[in-house]
Amino acid sequence: MTTCVKCKETIELSENIKNITDEVICPKCHARFKVKWKMDLELVPEMELAPVQEKTPSKKILVAVDGEATQEVMREVLTREGFEVFLAGTGKEALSILEKERPEVAYLDVALPQVLGFEICEIIKESSQLKGTKVILVSSIYDKTRYKREPKSLYGADDYIERHHIQDLLIPKLNQLFQTENVIVAPTVPSGPPVFEEEQTDNLPVTGEAQPEEACQPAAVIEPVQEEELSFLEGANEFLLEDAREEEPVSQEVPLESPAETSPLSSEEKVQHEEAKRLARIIISDIALYNQTAIEEGIESGNVEELLKNEIQEAEKLYQERIPREIREGTSYLHEALHDLVERKKKFMKQQK
């Protein structure tokens, strides 16, 4: 509605007039004048925008496993699920990453070179700075038909996984650990066949050429361990740290029964000796995982070998089946691995008293 500026006639405007400013003709006096529309704006409520959520930092996972093929499979699965993965192939590297990154979860191979996985687990559980780190031990299982039971104790670890079950249980194990934090990871169907052939200790090469190492891109650059980098662990297990700081010399020769017969080893023989040492370490580590109580009781009473008599006999039988006689003669890698384990465990138990 509007009023004529000349005769004051009330004029009803047509709905066809759409412009904000338009010319109107008075029907009574025919005066022409312009009108300016007063728009009744309908206030539309603004959309309620969801608050911008800060990106949640990726959870850090340490994968400390002996064997590049297994490392890469685990890295691929975990990275695909959004985790930040750090790889380590030795106990020294694992300790360095633990100090620098403080991961939420650590997968620790029980048979890690230099510092065994369950020894690192005990360090973690003793450290106030790593109390939030969950530990999953990775059992090597030198004979996967050997054990049909779960370990009764895990050296303080939160869970364990057998190497040949990594692809199907890797994510479910994480889900179990993260249940209280409501972090559920949807398991991803692995693409392609399992690639643990080079890792399976059932088929450790002992008589052939050195296996070529496949080039793989590590998930994190591992820097050499410096003494100051391990300062946060010094109060927990100093004897282990001293071992970790020492560089392991590369054996050029293996002493035989008679010094006169000692001669430089060929490349093939060096490979065979290294594989023998590795198998010995794996066997003893798995025995330790499944017999923690017996080992601790044996150390207290001084009869470890008696309490583990059956396990040691089986280990010797397997070792003899896998390792050629010429490699076994003049060496005792299996008993050296057991002795080393017992001595390190003694130091740890003494420190705990």
* Residue 25 CA, distance from chain mean position: 84
80, 227: one domain: yes
* Residue 16 CA, distance from chain mean position: 73
Collect all residues with Cβ–Cβ distance below 8 Å to 89 and sequence separation of at least 6: 64, 65, 66, 67, 68, 71, 112, 113
8, 113: one domain: no
Cα separation, 102 vs 131, whole angstroms? 10
31, 69: one domain: no
Q: Residue with structure tokens 């380590």?
A: 88
Collect all residues with Cβ–Cβ distance below 8 Å to 216 and sequence separation of at least 6: 68, 71, 72
Residue 245 belongs to some domain of the structure: no
328, 227: one domain: no
What was the pLDDT predicted at 19?
A: 53
Q: Cα torsion for 145, 147, 149, 152, to the nearest 10°?
A: -160
Residue 42 belongs to some domain of the structure: no
Residue 50 belongs to some domain of the structure: no
92, 222: one domain: yes
What was the pLDDT predicted at 141?
A: 58
What was the pLDDT predicted at 100?
A: 92
Cα separations in angstroms, 97 against 106, 177, 200, 202: 10, 21, 26, 30
227, 323: one domain: no
What was the pLDDT predicted at 106?
A: 95
Neighbours of 282 (CB within 10 A): 22
What phi, psi does 161 have (nearest 5°)?
A: -145, 135
Residue 226 belongs to some domain of the structure: yes
88, 229: one domain: yes
Which residues form the domain of 7?
2-36
85, 155: one domain: yes
Residue 194 belongs to some domain of the structure: no
Q: Cα torsion for 104, 105, 110, 112, to the nearest 10°?
A: -60
Residue 134 belongs to some domain of the structure: yes
Residue 286 belongs to some domain of the structure: yes
284, 136: one domain: no
20, 73: one domain: no
CATH (domain of 167): 3.40.50.2300
Residue at 13: amino acid letter: L
Tally of structural domains, the chain: 3
71, 27: one domain: no
327, 286: one domain: yes
pLDDT in tens, the chain (353 residues): 777 777 877 777 665 555 555 677 788 887 777 766 665 544 445 555 556 555 567 899 999 998 888 899 999 999 998 999 999 999 999 999 999 999 999 999 988 888 888 889 888 988 888 888 999 988 865 555 454 445 556 778 888 888 888 888 888 888 888 875 544 444 444 444 433 334 444 444 443 333 444 333 344 433 444 444 444 454 444 444 454 444 444 444 444 444 445 568 788 888 889 888 888 888 888 888 778 888 888 888 888 888 888 888 888 888 888 888 888 888 889 899 888 888 888 887 777 66
On whether the CB atoms of residues 140 and 201 are closer than 8 A, the answer is yes
What was the pLDDT predicted at 152?
A: 55
87-101: b (≥16 Cβ within 10 Å) or e: bbbbbbbbbbbbbeb
Q: What is the pTM of this model?
A: 0.59
Residue 259 belongs to some domain of the structure: no
